Amino acid sequence: MTDFEYYCEEYGGIELADEEEFERMAKKARLFIKHVTYTEPDFEDDDVRSCVCALAEIYAQNNTVTSIVREKIDGYEAEYEDGANEKILMHTVKLYLPPVMLYRGF
């Protein structure tokens, strides 16, 4: 499994300076990878581990934006995007993982 030591030493990550934040963002990254892959990913594989690190950094950079899609109250309408939008995440996944792992349509 991807851990903070791998992130710092093998991946060369610098965005996430503390282990607790890394673990929170890596959990989101692993869930996203499971969501878009056809088979159960091998989280010990170096490509998958690097993908987790890259996605964790994206989640950390975009963690401050609320993910309300559309809201309407008394005539006032607001729409927010999720900070780590799916296009950026998918582009990153495609850089690290082979196409045979991904669901068609992604």
Give residue 1's pLDDT: 83
Six-digit token string for 70: 């559309």
Query: Residue 78: inside a domain, yes or no?
Result: yes
3-state secondary structure of 48: helix
Least-confidence region, from 29-38, 54-63, 79-88: 79-88
Query: Residue 76: inside a domain, yes or no?
Result: yes
Asked if the model's pLDDT at residue 47 lies above 50, the reply is yes
Six-digit token string for 46: 């170096």
Query: Residue 10: inside a domain, yes or no?
Result: yes
Six-digit token string for 51: 């993908």
Asked if the model's pLDDT at residue 66 lies above 70, the reply is no
What's the whole-model pTM score? 0.79
Query: Residue 73: inside a domain, yes or no?
Result: yes
Give residue 23's pLDDT: 97
The H or E element spanning position 73 is strand 71-73
Query: Residue 106: inside a domain, yes or no?
Result: no
State mean pLDDT over 73-100: 78
Query: Residue 29: inside a domain, yes or no?
Result: yes
Asked if the model's pLDDT at residue 65 lies above 50, the reply is no
Residues 60, 64: Cα–Cα separation, whole Å: 8
Asked if the model's pLDDT at residue 67 lies above 60, the reply is no
Query: Residue 61: inside a domain, yes or no?
Result: yes
State mean pLDDT over 55-80: 69
Overall number of domains in the chain: 1
Burial of 62 (0-12, 13-18, 19+ CB in 10 A): middle
Domain region containing 22: 4-101
State mean pLDDT over 75-104: 79
